Amino acid sequence: MAMPPVDFRTEPSKYKHWKLSVDGRVATLAMDVSEDGGLRPGYELKLNSYDLGVDIELYDAVQRLRFEHPEVGAVILTSAKERIFCAGANIRMLGQSSHGWKVNFCKFTNETRNAIEEATAESRQAYLCVVNGPCAGGGYELALATDYIVMADDGNTSVALPEVPLLAVLPGTGGLTRLVDKRHVRRDRADFFCTLEEGVKGKRALDWGLVDELVSRSRLVETVKQRAAEFATRTDRPAAPAGIKLLPLERIIDGDRIAYAYVTCEIDRDRRVADVTVAGPAGPPPTTLQGIHALGVSFWPLALARELDDLILHLRTNEEEIGIWVFRTAGSADLVEAYDRLLAEHQGDWLAREIRLYWKRTVKRLDVSSRSIFALIEPGACFAGTLLELALAADRSYMLSGARQGDGRPPAMVRLSELNFGAYPMPNGLTRLANRFLAEPGQVEKLKVLIGKDLDAAGAAEAGLVTFTPDDIDWEDEVRLAIEERAAFSPDALTGMEASLRFGGPETIETKIFGRLSAWQNWIFQRPNAVGPKGALGLYGTGERSDFDRRRV
């Protein structure tokens, strides 16, 4: 019997696993996982272990804290259960999951942890973690996503990354990378730590840099409140203005058609293609900052970011065989540019900042999705500014040169805006323009003179903004053949190729995590030492020893 699709839309009243509370400038996000609340049958979420459903709620809570609570400057992440913080990803869930499910699960949880780190760094909403009981695997990875870890010094509480000795896999959401790149734990100590089933507690955890502060259990609550209050004083978030309520996202799925207000997706299962059309705004933006706040979630850039975010997650999780995503746009470039100007003009406002950051996170989901992405730029399109980022994120872009026979609309144009030059960096820290012109670093500066100007196919090609510019005679055949050829290749090979080509230039913690996740974790999850009949993941908890293939490859 087919399982229902995973729905990423939720809200606090529907939470099964988290308790969110706000007290002035400090919020508390307490993990209280319901053992019988798993997303799929067949496992119990004991000891605050988690599955995708738990992390969907966490992602929603992080979003709501950013948009609905501008007054919050610090967030305490802790456990609502006595004497246990989090046992990590549920082993039974992983053991019964398909390979694709495991990898997608790790990718989404990683993006959520990245969002926590971004909230601290960019939104000035600092996260600190209270480890009030044993904290293992993905639980410690969750703690690592925060900027400050306070651990109970009670002889029982420990931190651990036991995946290698227990399960023959790796910490799937960046644990190894964050140990050495973020917390700068010495390599030899990290090596020992990651091979220790029982983990590390007390003074050693503090001395090795695995946690930031060790506190007796009797002083834990008092100390954490004090630290959170200190963190909150550093924020630039306003104390008074009301937040923006993230109202339920409306979506209609009718057969192979998925429709929102501004985004529609038509799935062609025979061709294994998702054809996505993104609509520009229906009218001009408000003229004032107050107008942005008054519109709330109906403000076009925010509404569109929510819809596109949801669609990406839906396709990635529920449509594994749809390997090519084709993006089109429709609407007025003038209106898109007007919204970009408004966001740029009010970049110091907390809400305008959050909207830009949301767009950054959403387009970054495209960067790390294991799907081929094409952009088709045709008459009537509005690939301008923020929406041009979709074409710049594509593996290839095709722009129709000239008019189309029988179509009275003018030829297709693209347009740069100020937001293409810094608002939406990729996981490698570069703008998509800088990433595109690694061989010509001066080209990005030269392109600034084109801001606000319409570029036809010839102009866009000369500027290096598009890949191919067929005319009306060749368009249909060239695009069709490109998609058919892509669909004929091995999806595994394409995933590796795309992940390798998308991020040139410098490495960051994000690119390291996703590169390693896409390569080594992907590989390890398929190896018999982990998932075979005698593999560690399958035998966990049975008392039977794993039988490893001892060859190094």
How are beta strands 454-455 and 414-415 bridged, if at all?
antiparallel
d(CA 515, CA 527): 18
Residues 129 and 223 occupy one common structural domain = yes
d(CA 211, CA 529): 31
For 123, phi then psi, to 5°, come to -90, -5
Residues 374 and 282 occupy one common structural domain = yes
Smallest Cα–Cα separation from 172: which of 496, 507, 428, 518?
518
pLDDT of 538 reads 86
Residues 486 and 528 occupy one common structural domain = no
- List helix spans (H) across 319-413: 333-345, 350-368, 388-393
Residues 209 and 287 occupy one common structural domain = no
d(CA 464, CA 337): 20
Residue 463 falls within a domain, yes or no?
yes
pLDDT of 518 reads 67
Residue 243 falls within a domain, yes or no?
no
Q: What is the CATH number of the domain that holds 426?
A: 3.90.226.10
What is the tally of structural domains in the chain? 3
d(CA 26, CA 81): 20
CA 60 from centre of chain: 12
Residues 375 and 510 occupy one common structural domain = no
- Given 181, 199, 232, which residue is the final one in a domain? 232
d(CA 3, CA 318): 10
Smallest Cα–Cα separation from 162: which of 151, 148, 175?
175
Which residue's entry shows tokens 């502060």?
213
Residue 3 falls within a domain, yes or no?
no
pLDDT of 1 reads 54
Residue 134 falls within a domain, yes or no?
yes
Residue 432 falls within a domain, yes or no?
yes
Residues 225 and 285 occupy one common structural domain = no
pLDDT of 527 reads 87
Residues 182 and 329 occupy one common structural domain = no
Which residue's entry shows tokens 């490109």?
482
CA distances from 203 to 178, 200, 206, 208, 209 (A): 20, 9, 5, 8, 10
- What's the whole-model pTM score? 0.96
Smallest Cα–Cα separation from 414: which of 372, 440, 376, 362?
376
pLDDT of 388 reads 98
Indicate the SS3 state at residue 189. Answer: helix
pLDDT of 521 reads 72
- The sheet carrying 135-136 orders its strands as 135-136, 158-160, 200-201
Please, what are the averages of pLDDT over each run of 10 residues along the chain (553 residues)? 87 97 97 96 95 98 97 97 94 90 92 97 97 97 97 96 92 90 97 96 97 97 96 93 93 98 98 98 96 97 98 97 98 98 96 98 96 98 98 98 93 98 97 97 96 98 98 97 96 90 92 80 84 89 90 83
Residues 484 and 530 occupy one common structural domain = no
Residue 429 falls within a domain, yes or no?
yes
Residue 550 falls within a domain, yes or no?
no
Residues 372 and 433 occupy one common structural domain = yes
- Given 449, 467, 490, which residue is the final one in a domain? 490
Residues 113 and 262 occupy one common structural domain = no
d(CA 144, CA 113): 9
Residue 238 falls within a domain, yes or no?
no
How are beta strands 74-79 and 126-131 bridged, if at all?
parallel
Residues 115 and 68 occupy one common structural domain = yes
Residues 226 and 304 occupy one common structural domain = no
> What is the Cβ-side half-sphere exposure of residue 143, based on CA atoms within 13 angstroms?
33
Query: Which residues constitute the domain of residue 61?
Result: 12-232
